[in-house]
Amino acid sequence: RLPAIVLTASISDVFRNEAVERVRDNGNCSSLYKKTVSRLIVIALPIFTIIYLVSPFAIKLVLGEKWLMSGYFAQVLCILLFFEFISQPLNSLFYIFVMQKIYMRIQFLNSVLGVLVIYASYKFFEDAKIVLFCFALNSALFNLICLFFTYKLSKKVFEKK
């Protein structure tokens, strides 16, 4: 996760600066948003696909048979990290458009539902892999919700002063 965080932080800085300029000049940053999402998908898809496909085998090869389950966990976490990789840099729009309160509510709801999903899926399935999968789906859903909101914000038109 650390390499992804470093990369998305850099992308976020560049996106935020350019988005501020576009909003100032054009009143919105819709075209920049779409271009950035496309580039993030192009970067993330091959990386996370490879990690998804090889993680169980690589971890088993490096650490041994006892660690095979952690390879499956890594596969499940790739789903969450893929969507996080795409949405994180774009979340700076919440700050640009002074919508931090909405972003905080989304993150709070994500945290509360994350805990509830973990608890409920454990009680219902009693299988760590399924619990992790449910948690990853919950997190992916919230990242998609953030993408929806940031897309709407990118199209928001502000009058130039």
Please choose, from the candidates 85, 90, 97, 86, the residue with its C-alpha nearest in 3D space to the C-alpha of residue 13. 90
pLDDT number for residue 31: 94
- What is the pTM (predicted TM-score) of this model? 0.88
Q: Give, in degrees to the nearest 5, the angle at Cα 101 between 100 and 106.
A: 95
| Confidence at 161, pLDDT banded by 50, 70, 90 | very low
Whole-number Å distance between alpha carbons of 16 and 12: 6
Q: What is the mean pLDDT of the chain?
A: 92
- 42: exposed, middle or buried (Cβ count in 10 Å: 0-12, 13-18, 19+): exposed
pLDDT number for residue 33: 96
Mean pLDDT along residues 130-146: 95
Whole-number Å distance between alpha carbons of 12 and 145: 18
pLDDT number for residue 1: 72
State yes or no: pLDDT of 159 exceeds 90: no
Question: For residue range 14-44, what is the model confidence (pLDDT) as tens digits?
Answer: 999 999 999 989 889 999 999 999 999 999 9
- 69: exposed, middle or buried (Cβ count in 10 Å: 0-12, 13-18, 19+): middle
| Confidence at 156, pLDDT banded by 50, 70, 90 | confident
